[in-house]
Amino acid sequence: MKPLMSFVSPVYKCRDCLRKLVSEIALVCERIDVDFEIILVDDQCPDESWTEIQDLSISNHHITGLKLSRNFGQHSAIEAGLSAINGDWIVVLDCDLQDDPAAVESLWALAQSEPHADAIIAKRANRTDSRFRRLFSYAFYQTLSYLTGTKISSEVANFGLYQRKVIDAYNSWSEEQKYFPVMVQWMGFEQRTVEVPHKERFSGKSSYNFRGLMTLGARVVLSFSDRPLWLMAGLGSIIAMASILTTVIILFLALAGRFDVQGWTSLILSIWFWGGVNIAAAGLIGVYLGRTLREAKQRPSFIISRHVGAGEETDA
């Protein structure tokens, strides 16, 4: 019996890419001799991608379409697709064909030669983005790595081949905000990397601009790590300690008669000291409050409004 491979792809402003994406996935699955399913998740596209997904599903029983009730973002769309998989191996890839479906052949070959590898991660050998975009991406991921405490490479994104147990572990988390590459790195399953070509976008342009990337980074850091709060607490502690040194200096100057204005000494000392203490306290409280808030909200990461598969469309 052939293994079943599930392909999950979030769809946003990529209507013209979908037919080619499906055909290339079918070709590579024929070459590696596996059965397959393709789960396309419409993240409330403004370009009528859902109509295209409906048409593809009618003509191809391998395709399942999910339509989200609103735009939840790329990683929530990935999570929605992963919640509907049936395969033993799962491929996550973007729908714009920059993640080349043909590269799955290399990922599958390594998975077969190393049966203990749970995740085969695609590493982009030659990024086709502009030099500015590559430089910004490098700085962005270095910062993200530090703030999340997880090693993240700018050459690695969502594209990869994952065993079912990796995805089951990912799906078991009930957090509202998930960032797939960081989660995979954090879980610590056996991983291997394969260099793959990074192709030009088939059509359209990326929906991620500078503001979008910064917003994504902030959400990832604030939902995944409390390190910024600890940094703030550390900053407050440094200020509080610096105030002690400042106290000694100002008291020495005051005793030496350098200050003529009455009350200046006590005022400046109290501002420095209590300012530092308050920042440190707010940071520490924020550490606990942030953890409590993330666990208490229990909001869903996505809501599926429509489901289409095997030619049938239903409400979710």
- Got the DSSP string for 181-237? HHHHHHH---EEEEEE-BPPPSSS--S--HHHHHHHHHHHHHHH--HHHHHHHHHHH
pTM of the model: 0.76
Residues 123 and 236 in one domain: no
Radius of gyration of the chain (CA): 25
Q: Is residue 185 part of a domain?
A: yes
pLDDT at 166: 94
Q: Is residue 302 part of a domain?
A: no
- Write down the residue that tokens 């990832």 correspond to: 220
pLDDT at 99: 87
DSSP 98: S
Residues 48 and 195 in one domain: yes
Output phi, psi for 154, to 5 deg.
-70, -15
Q: Which of 68, 60, 55 is nearest to 37 (CA)?
A: 60
Which residues in the chain land under pLDDT 70?
A: 126-134, 136-137, 148, 154-155, 199-220, 222-224, 257-266, 284, 287-288, 291, 294, 310-311, 316
Q: Work out the angle between the directed axes of helices 49-59 and 18-32 (0-180°, nearest 10).
A: 40
Q: Is residue 310 part of a domain?
A: no
Label residues 34-65 b or e (16+ Cβ within 10 Å = b).
Answer: bebbbbbbbbbbeeebbebbbebbeeeebbbb
CATH number at residue 70: 3.90.550.10
Q: Is residue 291 part of a domain?
A: yes
pLDDT per residue as tens digits for the range 2-30: 889 999 999 988 888 899 999 999 999 99
Residues 30 and 157 in one domain: yes
* Identity of the amino acid at 35: D
What tokens does 168 get? 């089951």
Total domain count for the chain? 2
Contacts of 275 (CB under 8 A, 6+ apart): 239, 243
Q: Which of 233, 231, 215, 212 is nearest to 223 (CA)?
A: 215
- Residue 203 to residues 8, 29, 97, 133, 169: CA-CA distances in angstroms? 19, 24, 9, 18, 34
C-alpha to C-alpha distance for 166 and 157, rounded to whole angstroms: 16
Output phi, psi for 36, to 5 deg.
-150, 160
Q: Is residue 308 part of a domain?
A: no
- Residue numbers of the domain that contains 266: 227-297
Q: Is residue 138 part of a domain?
A: yes
pLDDT per residue as tens digits for the range 178-191: 778 888 888 889 99
Residues 232 and 217 in one domain: no
Residues 99 and 215 in one domain: yes
Q: Is residue 306 part of a domain?
A: no
Q: Is residue 135 part of a domain?
A: yes
